[in-house]
Amino acid sequence: MSQTVTPHSMNDLVSLPGVKSISYIPASSLADKLGVQALAGLPIYIHATPTPIEFNGDPTCECTHSNAGVSPSQSLEFSFRSNQQIPDDRYLAFLVVDVNGHSYLIGTKEEHPLIERVQSFGNPDSDPSTFTYTIQLTSPRALIPCSIL
């Protein structure tokens, strides 16, 4: 992936080169209208304290850009495995840091990602139960470059 997530054409696919860390924050703790600010090219700063998520294997993150009708849109799918259960009683946003140190926000106070959780049970001898999470969001700006303060 290049250093920016701005596509050359509206049908480009952006894929993160590798994920270094994943965390979540309650969407209610984010500033208002971050998606609009990102579309305007303004820098996005996250002031909330993220909760880290330990993950297993290699997460995947793909963001497809399209021009559906009048306004451009991004469809994002982010998948990872974890032994940790993520809260499902409130709207969450996710912070992802790639191996190059770039941070991205998935979800805002106004646009919440869909979180799908599938539980796999391990062997009774040693393997723990594992959750596979798939985070999906369609928005004018689904993968928002940001700085975590």
Please indicate, yes or no, if residue 62 is contained in any of the structural domains: yes
Q: Is 126 left (phi over 0), alpha (psi -120 to 50) or beta?
A: alpha
What pLDDT is stored for residue 3 in this prediction? 31
CA–CA distance, 52 with 28 (Å, rounded to integer):
17
The structure's pTM equals: 0.86
Reading phi first (left if > 0) and then psi (alpha if -120 to 50, else beta), residue 57 is in left
Averaged confidence pLDDT in the chain:
87
Given this model, what pLDDT does residue 15 score?
A: 63
Domain annotation covers residue 2: no
Q: Which two tokens stand for residue 141?
A: 């700006």
- 4 found inside a domain: no
Whether 5 is in a domain gets the answer no
Pairing mode, if any, of strands 13-15 and 71-82?
unpaired
Does residue 7 form part of some domain?
Answer: no
Contact call for residues 130 and 56 (beta carbons, < 8 A)? yes
In a domain, 89, yes or no: yes
Q: Where are the alpha helices (DSSP H) in the chain?
A: 34-39
Q: What is the pLDDT of residues 55-76, one digit of tens each?
A: 999 999 888 888 867 778 899 9
pLDDT of res. 136: 97
Confidence of residue 131 (pLDDT cuts 50, 70, 90): very high
With a cut of 70, say whether residue 144 has pLDDT above it.
yes
Mean pLDDT of 109-131: 87
Q: How confident is the model at residue 125 (pLDDT cuts 50, 70, 90)?
A: confident
Using alpha carbons, list the distances in angstroms from residue 116 to 35, 80, 143.
22, 11, 18
**Is 32 inside a domain boundary?**
yes
In percent, the amount of the chain with pLDDT more than 70 equals 87
Q: Is residue 136 assigned to a domain?
A: yes
Name the domain count of the chain.
1
Average pLDDT estimate for 95-105: 94
pLDDT, tens digit, for every residue of 3-42?
334 333 444 555 677 899 999 999 999 999 999 999 999 9
Range of the domain at 67: 13-148
At residue 145 the predicted structure's pLDDT band, cuts being 50, 70 and 90, is very high
